[in-house]
Structures are given as structure tokens and as C-alpha cells.
């Protein structure tokens, strides 16, 4: 072999090695770009540092939403307390598209094909249930309590929609769902320490707020006062206790109004009795807080005015009652004189009726006069009773949660301020 031939072989080997190195680098860079692109396009929950603005604790898919009802499949069910009165339902979209984020504390609206408990005829009802977990990119969770007939009124039928969920909604079933909405939700305009007060099933929006803040890394101080009869009713007790152990800024206060003989104060729960102003004053430091309150009407009628009497600024109090008997708003416009006769005209029905001042709402008034109006939650949340207001003025008993279109009004939480004409 000549010297020239040997030199050519060496050069060829060097060029081959350079080519292999170049191809290897190109392949690695291409893989890196693919990985970056994949991470940029997959839904994710961003992590906040300290007390971050709300935009850092919602999913990336929050810009998407939908109009009307969308089909969801029940992915799984899970009983959440000892007496099995509360069941969580995990819902995934049929179309497989990413889910919009939501403000922790908001609710979903459902259209359910049920049967009338008296006539057993098909009946469509619309109901709203709070989301009970932080925003996730691929599922929503609601937690529903089975509502039995009232003990003092056994002739009253049990809750139609809650019993429908417990008895008939199974894994794999399809449900019609509206996008998250509602005005009761976490606000971080001014990230103050916060006091969350939940009575019974009113804990569900609080769970959404707590999970969102703690799992995002927020350092806001959070006090949770959770009122139930006893330990059989507590929802997700182990989860709440784990959060209390893990996070220094989360303070759990379980309040049992009727503990059983085996439950010990300071061990199984923190306080005996109901959540009231005296308890809050004895356990909270004297400083400014944001208060979030959700529970039955009796709790709301006691706590909300009590907080204001204590000196809490009304702007720092956020509240929501569950069920159709909602808390009447605190700032109400001047009522009409008792002697003023008011006429309500239902144009399509062809009826002109004198308003009865003892009636709770225009929806009740319409039903008393056999005027068919579609309705759902009866609490200003679902928007089903939205009706065109052709003339006159109404006043709301509380702030509506549903979005109201121009020229429309919600009959379930409104009364007339004078003569009125409705399209119904």
C-alpha cells in the first residue's frame, strides 16, 4: 500500500466520523424540538409561587368554552362519607376536546331526563352543582348529596335531581352539561388571608378553592370551618386531614353540632357546636380576612349579618346559599307602597293579573296563575326561567349567577317594581 493510498483511507475515515457526529447532533436537536413542541401544546396546570394571581392556577385550556349543553360521560363514581349520602361524579367530554378552566367555586348546570315522582311521566329538569375540585384539563368533578324528604314534612318528596344522580347515574352514562359559571368564586384581586365556612354540602365549592390554592403553591393563610352534625357526614375527611398535616398555611376546624358517643372533641373534631360568630372571634387573630360562606339558609341568615355586625367590611364577604331558598340580598331598593296596585301582563298567555305582594317571585306568581314557564334551579343560577321583559321594571332579591341577556329577566328571583309586561 502506497503512502498516498493510506492518506486517502485516513481522510475517508475522518470524514465518515464527522458525518456520523453531524447526523447524531441533528437527530438529538430534532428530538428536543419535538419534546418542546409536545410540552407547549399539552394541557397543564401552571405552578404559582407565593400568592400568585388567579391566571397562574387555572389550566391552559381556559380560553376554550362552549355554548348550550355539551355531552359528558360519567367516568367514575365515588362515595365520599361514612353514611354514603354524598357521591362524587367524574365527568369527561365525549368529544375528547380540552376542557376550559374555571374559577374555583363555580358550578356546572345539568339538563336531566327524569320522571315526575307523582305522575311518573317523563320530566326534564335543570339543576346546578358546584365543582368540587381544582381545574383539570381532562375532567370535571361534582359531589352531590342525596336529599331526603324533610323530617318535619315527610309528605314532601325527596330531592328529584339528587336522588336521580344517586340511583340512576352510573359509570358510562351520558349527561348534558353547560359550561362552568357562577359569581361565587375565588378572587385574588387582593390576596388577603381567607376564612372558608362550609355547612353540610356547602363544603363543595370550598374544596375547589382549597385544592386550587394549595396545589398551586399559594402561601395564603386559609382557615376552613366545616360544620356538620357528626363524623358520618364529613366529606373527604382523610383528604382534609392530610392537607392540614402537609400545609402550614391551611388550618382545619371541624365543627360537630351533634357528635355521637364515640367521637371525642380535640381528636375526631375540633369544636362542638355550630359555626357561629363567637367561634370565629375566639379562634381567629384580629386582622383583615376575606370570608367565603356557603351553606343552608339558616347558616347564611346568621353568619352573613353577624360578620357585618362584627365589623367585617361587606366587600370582604362572599356568600352563596345552596338550594332554592337563597339568602335575600342585603341592599334592597325601596319597595312599592302597599296600597299601590300592580298589574303583571303575560302577553303570550293572554293573561293580565293583579300582583300579590306576598308572592316570593314572578316565577311563583306565574305558576300560581297556570302560566307555563320553563324553570330549573329556582335560585338565579341556571338561567332557564329567563324571560323577555317587554315593559316595566323588576328588582332582584339577590345577585343573579346566570348571565342575563339584554332585555331579559330571571323570574325566579325577581319581583315587579310597578306594572309589568312579560313575553310569557
Give long-range contacts, CB 8 A cutoff, 24+ apart: 161-170: 161/110, 161/112, 161/114, 161/125, 161/127, 164/112, 164/114, 165/87, 165/89, 166/87, 169/74, 169/77, 169/89, 170/74, 170/77
| pLDDT value of residue 339 | 58
Domain 343-422 belongs to what topology? Ubiquitin-like (UB roll) (3.10.20)
Q: Exposed, middle or buried: residue 154 (CB in 10 Å: 0-12, 13-18, 19+)?
A: exposed
pLDDT of 297 strictly over 50: yes
Percent of the chain's residues with pLDDT above 90: 59
pLDDT tens-digit series, residues 163-203: 999 999 999 999 999 999 888 899 877 789 999 999 999 99
8 A C-beta contact, residue 211 and residue 249: no
d(CA 392, CA 352): 14
| pLDDT value of residue 384 | 83
Domain 60-149+156-181, CATH among 2.40.30.10, 2.60.40.290, 3.40.50.300, 3.40.50.1820: 2.40.30.10
pLDDT tens-digit series, residues 22-68: 555 545 444 443 443 333 333 322 222 233 333 334 433 344 589 88
Q: Which residue has the cell 352539561?
A: 177
pLDDT tens-digit series, residues 102-125: 999 999 999 999 988 778 888 888
| pLDDT value of residue 55 | 33
- pTM (2 decimals)? 0.75
| pLDDT value of residue 263 | 95
CATH 3.40.50.80 applies to domain 194-321: yes
CB proximity list for 159: less than 8 A, separation 6 or greater: 146, 147, 148
Cα Rg of the chain, angstroms: 28
pLDDT of 92 strictly over 50: yes
pLDDT tens-digit series, residues 141-169: 999 999 887 766 666 677 889 999 999 99
pLDDT-derived band at 2 (thresholds 50, 70, 90) equals confident
pLDDT of 331 strictly over 80: no
CB proximity list for 82: less than 8 A, separation 6 or greater: 231, 232, 233, 234
pLDDT of 3 strictly over 90: no
Q: Residue ranges of the domains in the chain?
A: 60-149+156-181, 194-321, 343-422
pLDDT tens-digit series, residues 15-29: 666 666 655 554 544
Q: Which residue has the cell 325566579?
A: 412
Q: Which of 41-55, 216-230, 249-263 has the lowest mean pLDDT?
A: 41-55
d(CA 57, CA 275): 29
| pLDDT value of residue 60 | 38
CB proximity list for 406: less than 8 A, separation 6 or greater: none
Residues 356-380 as b/e (b if ≥16 CB within 10 A, e otherwise) read eeebebbbbbbeeeebebebbbbbb
pLDDT of 133 strictly over 90: yes
Amino acid at each position: 500500500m502506497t503512502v498516498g493510498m493510506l492518506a486517502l483511507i485516513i481522510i475517508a475515515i475522518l470524514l465518515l466520523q464527522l458525518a456520523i457526529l453531524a447526523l447524531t447532533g441533528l437527530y438529538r436537536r430534532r428530538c428536543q424540538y419535538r419534546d418542546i413542541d409536545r410540552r407547549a401544546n399539552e394541557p397543564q396546570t401552571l405552578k404559582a409561587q407565593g400568592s400568585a394571581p388567579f391566571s397562574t392556577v387555572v389550566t391552559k385550556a381556559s380560553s376554550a368554552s362552549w355554548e348550550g349543553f355539551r355531552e359528558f360521560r360519567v367516568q367514575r363514581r365515588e362515595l365520599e362519607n361514612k353514611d354514603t349520602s354524598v357521591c362524587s361524579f367524574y365527568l369527561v367530554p365525549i368529544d375528547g376536546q380540552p376542557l376550559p378552566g374555571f374559577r374555583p367555586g363555580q358550578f356546572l348546570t345539568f339538563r336531566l331526563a327524569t320522571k315526575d315522582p307523582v305522575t311518573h311521566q317523563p320530566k326534564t329538569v335543570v339543576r346546578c352543582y358546584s365543582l368540587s375540585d381544582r381545574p383539570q384539563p381532562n375532567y370535571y368533578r361534582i359531589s352531590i348529596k342525596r336529599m331526603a324528604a324533610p323530617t318535619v314534612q315527610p309528605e314532601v318528596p325527596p330531592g328529584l335531581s339528587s336522588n336521580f344522580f344517586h340511583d340512576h347515574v352510573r359509570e358510562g352514562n351520558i349527561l348534558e352539561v353547560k359550561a362552568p359559571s357562577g359569581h361565587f368564586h375565588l378572587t385574588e384581586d387582593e390576596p388577603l388571608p381567607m376564612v372558608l365556612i362550609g355547612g353540610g354540602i356547602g363544603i363543595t365549592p370550598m374544596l375547589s378553592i382549597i385544592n386550587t390554592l394549595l396545589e398551586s403553591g399559594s402561601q395564603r393563610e386559609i382557615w376552613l370551618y366545616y360544620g356538620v352534625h357528626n363524623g358520618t357526614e364529613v366529606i373527604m375527611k382523610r383528604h382534609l386531614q392530610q392537607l392540614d398535616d402537609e400545609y402550614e398555611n391551611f388550618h382545619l376546624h371541624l365543627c360537630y353540632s351533634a357528635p355521637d358517643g364515640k367521637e371525642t372533641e380535640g381528636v375526631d373534631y375540633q369544636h362542638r357546636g355550630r359555626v357561629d360568630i363567637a367561634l370565629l372571634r375566639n379562634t381567629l387573630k384580629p386582622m383583615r380576612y376575606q370570608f367565603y360562606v356557603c351553606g343552608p339558609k339558616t347558616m347564611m341568615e346568621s353568619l352573613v349579618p353577624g360578620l357585618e355586625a362584627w365589623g367585617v367590611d361587606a366587600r370582604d364577604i362572599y356568600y352563596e346559599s345552596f338550594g332554592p331558598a337563597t339568602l335575600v340580598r342585603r341592599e334592597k331598593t325601596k319597595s312599592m307602597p302597599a296600597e299601590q296596585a300592580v298589574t303583571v301582563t303575560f302577553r303570550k298567555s293572554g293573561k293580565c293579573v293583579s300582583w300579590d305582594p306576598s308572592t316570593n317571585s314572578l316565577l311563583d306568581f306565574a305558576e300560581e296563575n297556570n302560566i307555563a314557564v320553563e324553570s330549573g334551579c329556582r335560585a338565579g343560577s341556571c338561567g332557564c326561567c329567563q324571560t323577555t321583559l317587554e315593559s316595566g321594571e323588576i328588582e332582584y332579591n339577590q345577585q343573579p349567577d346566570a348571565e342575563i341577556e339584554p332585555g331579559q329577566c330571571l323570574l325566579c328571583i325577581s319581583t315587579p317594581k310597578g306594572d309589568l309586561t312579560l313575553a310569557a
